[in-house]
Amino acid sequence: MAHTLMRAENCGVLRENPHLTVEKGGYSYEIVREGERSIYTVRRGNETFSAPLIWAFGEGNMAGQAYVFQWKGAWYDSRVSYYPVIHGLDTTMGFQNDKPPANIEQAAGRRLDVKLLMGCFDCHTTGEIRESDLDHVTPGVLCDKCHGPSAAHLEAVRTGNTAHFAMQKLGKLDTEEMANFCGRCHGEMLDLAATGETGPITVRFQPYRLAESPCYNEEDRRISCVTCHDPHKRLDMRASDYDPKCQACHHTGVKNTCKVAAHDCITCHMPKIEPPGAHHGFTDHQIRIVKASAPYPE
């Protein structure tokens, strides 16, 4: 999570891909590395728009990496993003259903209002953020983001003052409290209601999807976010590693609970769903018995 946001000059994806191009909707898009800068250019006929990228959102190793730039004092997100599966650029999620751009400025990206801009940075940074000074934010999700200010804790460690060692302990949160806590950035029902999004795009709202599971119980800690995920480690991609978590509730024995298989439970009961244009399948956290050809459950 420490790499959820980085400056364009420090972005590995942009360094390793110094010349990215794509044609979309009659416009040509290009990101070119020039020294430590990545220049974003959009062209159509004799029209040209160009601006340096400032921030890269997302590590870009599984899902897409999106970019933010400034133009005439305002912040914009780019209409194209990098997707590792295709090793190139394609339309940024959220733009697919937009009307065709009326001019080259709209083709370059979308002007971010204050609420959306601050929401993006709030989930991808640590510490205080101010619209007037986004150049000095602390990128990435670090210790303080979840556990609160750590200065006193670090000083206590340095001096041996055990009275000030304690920081916020999230392990005491119950299942519902943990879902709400993680949902501040990973998506909860209120976020979904605010965006009005429906369909497969909502698979990205993991706490909301988990709460829709038939087995979800806000009083049962065995189905909490941190039961399966250690926020201090990289995401575990091996399906079999999650089997013990499933079996904590669905015991195996002489007669297996599942009639189909005794391992890799999540591959069937938490299928990967690829939202339109995502180039990446997100694990659906609505745990259920999935039936062939069944529509996406809202």
pLDDT above 50 for 83:
yes
Contact 90, 22 (CB under 8 A): yes
The answer as to whether 13 is a domain residue is yes
pTM beyond 0.85, yes or no: yes
Rounded to whole angstroms, the Cα distance separating 231 from 141 reads: 10
- pLDDT tens per residue, range 35-74: 999 999 999 999 999 999 999 999 988 899 999 999 999 9
pLDDT of 256: 60
- DSSP single-letter state for residue 20: E
Both 105 and 176 in one domain: the answer is no
The answer as to whether 166 is a domain residue is no
pLDDT of 252: 56
Contact 250, 257 (CB under 8 A): yes
Given 61, 95, 112, which residue is the final one in a domain?
Answer: 112
The answer as to whether 194 is a domain residue is yes
- 199's CB contacts (< 8 A; 6+ apart) are 275, 296, 298
**Domain assignment of residue 99, given as a range:** 5-112
The answer as to whether 43 is a domain residue is yes
Both 104 and 175 in one domain: the answer is no
Both 108 and 178 in one domain: the answer is no
Rounded to whole angstroms, the Cα distance separating 77 from 241 reads: 37
Averaged pLDDT score across all residues of the chain: 90
pLDDT of 254: 47
The answer as to whether 145 is a domain residue is no
The answer as to whether 288 is a domain residue is no
Determine the average pLDDT of the residues in 173-202.
Answer: 86
Rounded to whole angstroms, the Cα distance separating 193 from 235 reads: 27
- DSSP single-letter state for residue 126: E
The answer as to whether 229 is a domain residue is yes
Given 112, 131, 147, which residue is the final one in a domain?
Answer: 112
The answer as to whether 70 is a domain residue is yes
Both 178 and 272 in one domain: the answer is yes
Instruction: Kindly state the helix (H) or strand (E) to which residue 109 belongs, with its residue range.
Output: strand 109-111
The structural domain count of the chain equals 2
pLDDT of 153: 77
Burial bucket for residue 83 (CB in 10 Å: 0-12, 13-18, 19+): buried
Determine the average pLDDT of the residues in 268-279.
Answer: 94
**What residue type is 208 in one-letter code?**
Y
Both 108 and 194 in one domain: the answer is no
Secondary structure of 32-93 in HEC code, one letter for each residue: EEECCEEEEEEEECCEEEEEEEEEEECCCCCCCEEEEEEECCEEEEECEEEECCCCEEEECC
Both 87 and 177 in one domain: the answer is no
Both 266 and 175 in one domain: the answer is yes
Cα 258 to chain center, whole Å?
32
Given 112, 131, 146, which residue is the final one in a domain?
Answer: 112
